[in-house]
Structure 1
Amino acid sequence: MEKNLAVDKRKATTDKQVKHVDVDTNMPNLPVKTIFAITFGFLGINMAFSLQSSQMSRIFQTIGANPNSLGFFFIFPPLMGMFIQPLIGKYSDRTWNRFGRRMPYLLFAAPISALVLIMLPFSGSMGFGFGSLSAMLYAAFAVCFMDLFSNICMQPFKMIVGDMVNNKQKNFAWSWQQVFSNAGGILATTLPFIFTWFGMSNTANKGTVPDTVIWAYVVSAIILLVTSFWTVFNVKEYDPLHYAEYHNISAEDTKKSVSLLKLLRTVPKAFWTINLVQFFSWFAIMYSWTYTTGTLAKNIWHTSNPASAGYQSAGNWYGILTAILSVAGIVWGLIYAKAKANNRKQWYAFGLIAGAIGLCSMAFITNKWLTVIAFILFGIGYFSICTIPFTLLTSSLNGKNEGAYMGLFNIGICIPQIVASVLSFIIFPLTGDSQPIMMLIAGIALFFGALSVIAIKEGVAVSTVKK
């Protein structure tokens, strides 16, 4: 009796979030405030990832890392994501308790993620010495822990869209998620520039990370915690009965545990064809993260010395460019939110071509202000890479093991980053240690990604797993 009352109470709470049922999918249309709550937490999560992408190269070179060794350190984030994301997806698929299905993982990971986020910028403040092995090991471990818990935080936000948002609202929800993500990127990456403008020191003793960067991480950690908890306490996930009903599956399907290897046999064709595009896309993004600061310093400030004021100014400018990228993504996201579902592939290809032009041009630009145009184009591409693949995939899933599928799908994001990092040890010396040429290679990779969009085949996953 008590169990039935609990279900009825949960049903009443759930019904408050539902406006009406979409007749094609049986999934409810959600009110704007619910979609806001589902997507808002990505603002804080992407502050962590944006600082990682825009400041990690700067931090490692500031504490004494050789530019030819940067690929080694950039291997750690995708390695963490590749292992943790499928596991979070698999186990959260079977987690049903008073806090929900995905939210318990976010509730656990957010405080730890905020704490470890501030480890990296203090790498040069521990007295290890410039270029010492101890400094490199500390920074490497900091990156591993930061990315581990950031990924645990990020996965619930992605999975909840597939759990609760119908196909009609998917473009809208994924666009909003990317809009908040880009807003977080804008705030995080401009903080060093803002702090410098207010008089905080943007330089420090050799081997020490400037205060502007340290405080950017501290502020981002606080916002990550606040926005994550906003989502946790304002999103009421569907109980197992409602979830089964809305996804047109049996209640028993929500309880079955299937191995990740078996799930790979049942993925829709879209899974593999999208991942072909993902390979070229994230290969390019990895090189943009690794070599943009050095490219700006070389082409515009004419320096390769990480301790110089010119190099640190290049690092700040990269933060501004990342913010511009995010603004471009927000504007493009608001436009894409109104796009028709059957035009997603065309939008995807166009975005990748725009991003490719932006990255290729970075290899040759010697005027600071022209880099703004390049990053507006790259912002359109980056939005497309971070949004449209998930829209295409979740539209091809049937509700069973959705979290596990999403986790496995993220391996297709991690592997190309690892491949790019490993190949950098071969490619970078062949370029004559030229960071601008590495940016050109990144742009060419995005062109190949755009050509691969034609291979994408959308389709629904196999409904059962053969034993």
Structure 2
Amino acid sequence: MSFGFLGIQFGFALQGGFMSRIFQTLGADKDAIPFLWIAAPLTGLLVQPIVGHLSDRTWHPRFGRRKPFFFVGAVLSTIALFFAPYSSALWMAAGALWILDASINISMEPFRALVADKLPDSQRSYGFVVQTLIIGIGTWVASNLPWLMTWLGASNTAEPGVVPDSVKYAFAIGAFVLFTSILYTILTTEEHPPEDQAEFEKERSLNTGFLAGFGEILKNIAEMPKVMKQLGVVQFFSWFAFFTMWSFATPAITSHIFGATDTTSAAYNDAADSVGTYLGTYGLVSMFYALILAFVASRIKINRKLLHLVSLISGGIGFILIYFITETWMLHLCFGLVGIAWASILSMPYAMLSGSVEPKKMGVYMGIFNMFIVLPQIVAALGGVNFLYKLIFGEAVINTMLLAGTLLILAGLSNLLITDRRATHD
């Protein structure tokens, strides 16, 4: 039931690892890159709770509850992912990113809810960790695709304003994997009908129409569990940090470590491929870390809060070390530490939250919870990253990695706010 996340992560990894490269190729200044990302989190702010609300109130004897959303999101994501590297102007690339991110979210949030739908509370840590394991595989493979295409003979340079063929082929492969993996989950996963069909139909009939649905979402936001608010602080710092990485890893590392800034040069494009490979390392490490967590969570009770705290601080140290390394191979170590944080971010908050949410509202609350993912990205895109890294650390773009590390350490310490034992202990 989680196999579709392989494809979703292909989309996210290619988006996170190479959209800034596409923006730079099309002439974007480094300080403008975060703003070009803003449409994606803005759309997520609206799409995620609405899709969650609708999926909670959807049921079809043949197509199920969550699977119709998987399919719609897969079709739209595939189209956007394939055409993104063919953009000939910045506004086209930003638009492709907007459609891609919104479409992936249509599929992703119902996937989170599906795990909570089908597993009892005692197995949810295990379930979300297995999901993270699949995400790690997708991140590593997708992040290495441009390098692999170059190795197989695809051109890694192009005329000014044109994305190299190696990136175009990588995005095409990613689009294929995204669609087929989600389709596999749709065809092989059975969903359970509502326990009380009559009560389900009654509630659905009372919440028809846009205004009624919007009002219900606002009511759920006002009544969100205390644990969700506490986790929201952790999520804010965590996703601000990762948005900083996705926006600035390529310009920061290619210029600071490889000394390459000319986007038409082989040196820059080879360095950008290498950055993708290093980003793949955090996916690979997250996979192994998730595998260990899956083994542990299936056998003993774990303290989710302390585990998440340590994992996030490890990732923060990894980001900070990027500034100080002297050899390129050390980037694998840095992003390996980031991978520990990434594995935890994709599993522990959802496991902590799921035990505090009514099952019939799982979809809408998973969507609302993701507001704490998109809000920090919006703040970062509207100038938060540029303002903070220059104010605290200085003008050099590599200082964005120092900012990301500091924020991730703050995210780890914020776990101390969580006091509900039902959330923190498996």
1:251 Cα deviation from its structure 2 partner:
7.9
Q: Which has the higher helix share?
A: 2
- Say if 1:354 and 1:69 are closer, same or farther in 2 by CA, change over 3 A: same
Q: In structure 2, what is the equivalent of residue 436 of structure 1? A: 398
Contact preservation (8 Å) 1:89, 1:406: yes
Contact preservation (8 Å) 2:388, 2:403: no
Counterpart-to-counterpart distance in 1, 2:165 and 2:247: 22
Report the AA paired with residue 35 of structure 2: F
Contact preservation (8 Å) 2:389, 2:403: no
Contact preservation (8 Å) 2:130, 2:290: yes
- Give the secondary structure class of the aligned counterpart of 1:105: helix
Q: In structure 1, what is the equivalent of residue 419 of structure 2? A: 457
- Give the secondary structure class of the aligned counterpart of 1:200: coil
Counterpart-to-counterpart distance in 2, 1:231 and 1:432: 47
Report the AA paired with residue 419 of structure 2: K
- Give the alignment's TM-score, normalised by structure 1: 0.84
Q: What's the C-alpha RMSD, in Å, of the aligned pairs?
A: 2.0
Q: In structure 1, what is the equivalent of residue 80 of structure 2? A: 116
Correspondent of 1:144 among 77, 83, 98: 98
Q: Do structure 1's residue 189 and structure 2's residue 143 form an aligned pair?
A: yes
Q: In structure 2, what is the equivalent of residue 80 of structure 1? A: 43
Counterpart-to-counterpart distance in 2, 1:386 and 1:176: 10
1:140 Cα deviation from its structure 2 partner:
1.4
1:352 Cα deviation from its structure 2 partner:
0.4
Unaligned runs of 5+ in 1: 1-37, 125-134, 462-467
- Say if 1:347 and 1:256 are closer, same or farther in 2 by CA, change over 3 A: farther
Q: In structure 1, what is the equivalent of residue 70 of structure 2? A: 106
Correspondent of 1:89 among 44, 49, 52: 52
Report the AA paired with residue 65 of structure 2: R
Counterpart-to-counterpart distance in 2, 1:70 and 1:144: 14
Deviates more, 1:47-56 or 1:309-318: 309-318
Counterpart-to-counterpart distance in 2, 1:148 and 1:80: 6
Correspondent of 1:378 among 310, 316, 338: 338
Contact preservation (8 Å) 1:75, 1:421: yes
1:261 Cα deviation from its structure 2 partner:
1.3
- Give the secondary structure class of the aligned counterpart of 2:398: helix
Q: In structure 2, what is the equivalent of residue 299 of structure 1? A: 256
Q: In structure 2, what is the equivalent of residue 426 of structure 1? A: 387
- Say if 1:88 and 1:250 are closer, same or farther in 2 by CA, change over 3 A: closer
Report the AA paired with residue 454 of structure 1: L
Instruction: String of CA shifts for 1:103-147, please: whole Å, max 9, x gaps.
Output: 1111222122211111210014xxxxxxxxxx1111111111111
Instruction: String of CA shifts for 1:397-417, please: whole Å, max 9, x gaps.
Output: 121311111100000000001
Q: In structure 2, what is the equivalent of residue 215 of structure 1? A: 169
Identity across matched positions, percent: 36
Contact preservation (8 Å) 1:292, 1:435: no
Deviates more, 1:306-315 or 1:355-364: 306-315
Correspondent of 1:446 among 390, 408, 414: 408
Q: Do structure 1's residue 396 and structure 2's residue 360 form an aligned pair?
A: no
> How many correspondences in the alignment?
410
Q: In structure 2, what is the equivalent of residue 154 of structure 1? A: 108
- Give the secondary structure class of the aligned counterpart of 1:347: helix
- Give the secondary structure class of the aligned counterpart of 2:261: coil
Q: In structure 2, what is the equivalent of residue 168 of structure 1? A: 122
Q: Do structure 1's residue 236 and structure 2's residue 198 form an aligned pair?
A: no
Contact preservation (8 Å) 1:163, 1:243: no
Counterpart-to-counterpart distance in 2, 1:460 and 1:237: 26
| Alignment of structure 1 residues 201-280 onto 2, 5 Å | 201-241=155-195, 257=207, 259-280=216-237
Computing the radius of gyration over CA atoms, which structure comes out larger, 1 or 2? 1
Deviates more, 1:69-78 or 1:406-415: 69-78
Contact preservation (8 Å) 1:253, 1:400: no
1:39 Cα deviation from its structure 2 partner:
0.6
- Say if 1:425 and 1:437 are closer, same or farther in 2 by CA, change over 3 A: closer
Report the AA paired with residue 400 of structure 1: K
Contact preservation (8 Å) 2:38, 2:378: yes
- Say if 1:336 and 1:269 are closer, same or farther in 2 by CA, change over 3 A: same
Q: In structure 2, what is the equivalent of residue 412 of structure 1? A: 372
1:278 Cα deviation from its structure 2 partner:
0.4
Counterpart-to-counterpart distance in 1, 2:376 and 2:70: 26
Contact preservation (8 Å) 1:299, 1:365: no
- Say if 1:354 and 1:454 are closer, same or farther in 2 by CA, change over 3 A: same
Q: In structure 1, what is the equivalent of residue 210 of structure 2? A: none
Q: In structure 2, what is the equivalent of residue 333 of structure 1? A: 290
1:303 Cα deviation from its structure 2 partner:
2.3
Instruction: String of CA shifts for 1:148-194, please: whole Å, max 9, x gaps.
Output: 11111212211101111111211221111111111111111111111
Instruction: String of CA shifts for 1:257-294, please: whole Å, max 9, x gaps.
Output: 46111112322111000010001100100111111112
Contact preservation (8 Å) 2:258, 2:271: yes
1:305 Cα deviation from its structure 2 partner:
2.2
Contact preservation (8 Å) 1:397, 1:460: no
